[in-house]
Homo-oligomer: A and B are copies of this chain.
Amino acid sequence: MDKKEPTIDRVFQALGDSTRRAILEKLSDGPVSVSRLAEPFGITLAAVVQHVQVLEEAGLVQTQKLGRVRTCRIDSAGLQVAAQWIADRRTVWEKKLDLLGDLLAEPDEPADEPEWLG
- CB within 8 Å of B: which residues of A? 8-9, 12-13, 15-18, 21, 24, 28, 62, 74-77, 79-80, 82-87, 89-90, 92-94, 98-107, 117-118
Contacts and interface: CB of A to CB of B under 8 A. Distances in A.
A100 B79 contact: yes
A107 B87 contact: yes
Contacts of A98: 105
Contact of A83 (B8, B24, B104): B104
A76 B104 contact: no
A29 to B, nearest CB: 9
Nearest to A10: B16
Nearest to A74: B93
A74 B100 CA distance: 14
A86 B89 contact: no
A89 B28 contact: yes
Given A79-B86, A89-B24, A105 B101 contact: yes
Contact of A100 (B83, B85, B94, B118): B83
22 contacts: A8-B18, A12-B13, A13-B13, A24-B89, A28-B92, A62-B118, A76-B93, A76-B94, A76-B99, A77-B118, A79-B86, A79-B93, A80-B100, A83-B90, A83-B103, A83-B104, A86-B104, A87-B107, A104-B104, A104-B105, A105-B105, A105-B106
